Amino acid sequence: MTVAIFALLLLGAVPIALVLALTAMFYIQVSGNSVLFESYPQQLFGAIESYGLLAIPLFMLAGELMNEGGVTRRLIDLARLLVGGFRGGLAYINLVANMMMAAIIGSAASQIAIMSRAMVPAMEQEGYDRPYSAAITAAGGLLSPIIPPSMLFVLFGVMAQVPIAEMFIAGILPGLLLGFSFFLAIAVVGLVQQYPRGRWPTRAEARRALAMGLPALAIPLIIIGGILLGLATPTESAALASLAALLLGRFLYGDLKFAMLPAVLRRTAVNAGLVIMLIAAAGVFGWVIVYERLPQMAAAWIAALTTDPFLFLLLLIGVLLLVGMIIDGIAALILVVPILLPIATQQFGISPYQFGVVVCLTLVLGLLTPPVGAGLYIASSMTGAPPLRIFRSLLPFLLASLATLVLLAWQPWLTTALIGR
Mean pLDDT over 1-17 rounds to: 70
Report the pLDDT value the prediction gives residue 136, as an integer from 0 to 100. Answer: 85
Question: Which residue type sits at 224?
Answer: I
Sign of the CA dihedral 224, 139, 111, 97? Answer: positive
Report phi then psi at 413, rounded to 5.
Answer: -65, -20
Confidence of residue 28 (pLDDT cuts 50, 70, 90): confident
Res 18: pLDDT? 75
* % the chain with pLDDT above 70: 86
Residues, the chain, total? Answer: 421
User: Would you say residue 254 has pLDDT above 70?
Assistant: yes
In SS3 terms, 144-155 reads as CCCCCCCHHHHH
Digit-coded pLDDT (tens) for 228-244: 777 887 788 888 888 98
Cα angle value 100/106/107 (rounded, 5°): 115
Positive/negative CA dihedral, 178, 180, 183, 184: negative
Check whether 49 has a pLDDT greater than 80.
Answer: no
pLDDT tens column, 275-314: 777 777 777 776 676 666 665 666 667 767 778 899 989 9
Q: Give the pLDDT confidence score for residue 88 in this predicted structure.
A: 66
Average pLDDT, the chain: 79
Number of helical H runs and strand E runs in the chain: 21, 0
What's the pLDDT score for residue 2? 65
DSSP per-residue codes, 225-252: HHHHTTSS-HHHHHHHHHHHHHHIIIII
For residue 357, pLDDT beyond 90: yes
The pLDDT tens digits of the residues spanning 146-204 come to 777 777 888 888 888 888 888 888 888 998 899 899 888 888 887 777 676 667 777 78
Q: What pLDDT, on the 0 to 100 scale, is given for residue 10? A: 66
Q: Which pLDDT band holds residue 255 (cuts at 50, 70, 90)?
A: confident
Q: For the chain, what percent of residues have pLDDT higher than 90? A: 8
pLDDT at position 214 is 82
Helices 261-291, 34-46: axis angle to 10 degrees equals 150
Stretch 355-362: mean pLDDT: 91
Backbone dihedral angles phi then psi of residue 271, each to the nearest 5 degrees: -65, -40
Going by pLDDT thresholds of 50, 70 and 90, the confidence category of residue 373 is low
- Exposure string over 378-401, b if 16+ CB within 10 A, otherwise e: bbbebbebebebbbebbebbbebb
**Structure confidence by residue, pLDDT tens digits, 90-132:** 778 788 877 777 766 666 777 777 777 777 877 777 777 888 8
The pLDDT value given to residue 355: 94
Question: Looking at residue 393, what is its pLDDT?
Answer: 86
